[in-house]
A and B are shown apart, each in its own frame.
Chain A
Amino acid sequence: MTKGVSNTFKKRNVNLTETIAKIFFLVCSLVSALTLFIIIYFIFTNGVPAMFQVGFLDFITGRTWAPEHNYAPQFGMLPMLYASLISTFFAFIIGSRIGKWCAIYLAFFCPKKIYKPLKTMIELLGGIPSVIYGFFGVAVIVPFLRNNFPGFGNSLLAVIIILSMMVLPTVINLSEAALRSVPKHFFEGALALGSTKTEAIFEIVTPAARAGINGAFVLGIGRAVGETMAVIMVAGNVSQMPGSISEFFSTSIFFAPVRTMTTGIALEMSYASGLHRDTLFGIGVILFTIIIILNISLTILNRNETNYAKES
């Protein structure tokens, strides 16, 4: 500043640099944010018209996906929507429970000596690429299902198993952070009132960490809905769904091959053209909408909850 004070010309120069730097950083952050709107714009302007050309209800509730048919192509994406939702649902049921229990172990029961290696292992589990999970499915899970259950192994059940494995690291890491951020006196107070260690943790600390754990669950669901490569490799990729209510409630649905929304897009994009290609963007629109709904529902879910993880 001494330079600046003694020499007004230089001071102005410094101010100019400051202004240019500020504007440069501002522009960079605007560009980063703008990419989201560009992505939304391009996917929606291609997908939405196609959805309405097919007929919105026919698109959502149609059961036949035959885009290559010569005179009567059909674009019913219900089987893919069904496969995405049901596989995510079961993967969430399994993965969220196991993940939460694992997080409780890491946060409260883990001996100090093995904490570091265990934590590193969980983080590595999260770093494994999805194509490796898919490969694991092809090499181990699909043959196991083929040999022990009806069907060819490539099935809804294989997808559920792979997805529950894949959501684990997300759920574990975020839930553990949430559990750790709950003030210590919750736990100590519960102990002082005569509860056992497990009661204090399961009935006092875990509910107090609900906001953070919900966040972990929603991120896990998002990861499962959007997962593509691992699912492609084990799903069997047949666009079909149970025909009747009784079939829906039988166990046979688990052994049938399925095609999810993400795999539908990935498999057909390379050769699709015209309306067919645009309907794939339509599926992208539905997928995008589901992700946005998940984000919004988390905000609503946590509106009245205290998130200790965010406060600290």
Chain B
Amino acid sequence: MNNRKLKNTLSYIKIYFGIGISVTILFSILILVLINGIQNLSFEFVFSLDAPRGFSLMPMLATTTVIVVLTLLISVPLGISSAIYLNEYASSKSKLVKIVRSSIETLSGIPSIIYGLFGFLFYVIVLGWSWSIRAGIFTVAIMILPIIIRATEEALKAVPMSYRMGSYALGAGKFYTIRKVVLPAAINGILASIILSIGRLIGETAALLLTAGTLLDMPVNLQSSAATLSVFMYTITIEQGDMNRAYATAIVLMALVLSLNLLANFIAKRLKRD
């Protein structure tokens, strides 16, 4: 009996240790970045346009925005269309669909350094684009594709079959039904996945370090090499070793990524409630 009691206590210790340590980690990161970040943050550091190289985040914010917007322009239509095919058209028994599904599954498990390696090899060397924003865009576009496909599929699956049946019964074709009935009903889930991918894109470093480069200037065009916010975060911490500016960058980066995550969370929860 004593043995059982001991085991019981031990189990409780394990559980509370587990949750305690996870909460501690998040809070220590948040508090560290918040306290030191606010001390070093200034309006000029974030928004100044004529500060010396590396003393204003404006070029990095511009690069990040360009990369996020253009990447989404590629991945979102492609990803949603793929998901529509997989969920609405394909029969789950066909071999082709199985191959497509498992390759997308595999894509989602590949670490970002492999995407960087591929992007460097294919866009930077084979296509001769050198380190450039466009090489970065095409690399991360592949990287977020599986995220969008998966989430869109989930959202499409959540649309009740009766919606489609009702639409067919009223005489609508399949394509019309998808456009006017299925997609509008799934829009919240799709939106959440897009916002989540934006967060992932802003935080991505390894793949962009190898393809878009580390130049800290305002990007002129898509051929120019430029650092995103998170790549700058890396170079300022490691190569320049300036912890004050690193803290200020960290708080901006964290604020962007965490608020996007919270927003995606909120939209996804609203979806569940409906």
A residues contacting B by CB (< 8 A) are 1-2, 14, 17-18, 21-22, 24-26, 28-33, 35-39, 42-43, 46, 97-106, 109-110, 118, 120-125, 127-136, 138-140, 165, 168, 172, 196, 198-199, 201-202, 219, 222-223, 225-229, 232-233, 262, 265-266, 269-270, 280-281, 284, 287-288, 291-292, 294-295
Contact = CB atoms under 8 A, between A and B. Distances in A.
Nearest to B232: A131
Contacts of A135: 233, 237, 246, 250
Given A109-B15, A265-B113, 8 more contacts: A25-B84, A25-B88, A97-B14, A102-B19, A134-B234, A196-B8, A233-B234, A265-B117
Given A26-B85, A29-B86, A134-B234, A100 B18 contact: yes
Contacts of A139: 32, 36, 243, 247
B54 to A, nearest CB: 16
Nearest to A46: B121
A39 B141 CA distance: 13
Contacts of A284: 113-114, 117
A288 B33 CA distance: 34
Interface in B178-205: 178, 199, 202-205
A137 B116 CA distance: 23
Interface string B89-118: 110000000011001111101111111111
Interface of B: 4, 7-8, 11-12, 14-19, 21-23, 25-26, 28-29, 32-33, 36, 77-79, 81-86, 88-90, 99-100, 103-107, 109-118, 120-122, 126, 142, 145-146, 149, 171, 173-175, 178, 199, 202-206, 209-210, 230, 233-234, 237-238, 243, 246-247, 250, 253-254, 257-258, 260-262, 265
A38 B145 CA distance: 14
Contact of A129 (B11, B178, B203, B210): B203
Contact of A266 (B84, B85, B116, B178): B116
B232 to A, nearest CB: 9
Given A1-B171, A28-B82, A198-B11, A130 B205 contact: yes
Contact of B85 (A1, A29, A104): A29
Contacts of A28: 77-78, 81-82, 85
Contact of A18 (B32, B113, B174, B265): B174
A291 B110 contact: yes
Contacts of B99: 33
Contact of A295 (B81, B106, B114): B106
Contact of A132 (B22, B84, B118, B254): B254
A307 B234 CA distance: 40
A292 B106 contact: yes
B18 A99 contact: yes
A46 B117 CA distance: 11
Contacts of B142: 35, 39
Contact of A199 (B7, B81, B83, B145): B7
A310 B104 CA distance: 18
A168 B25 contact: yes
Name the residue among A219, A227, A229, A280 with the largest chain B CB count within 10 angstroms.
Answer: A229
B111 A287 contact: yes
B238 A233 contact: yes
Contacts of A35: 107, 142, 145
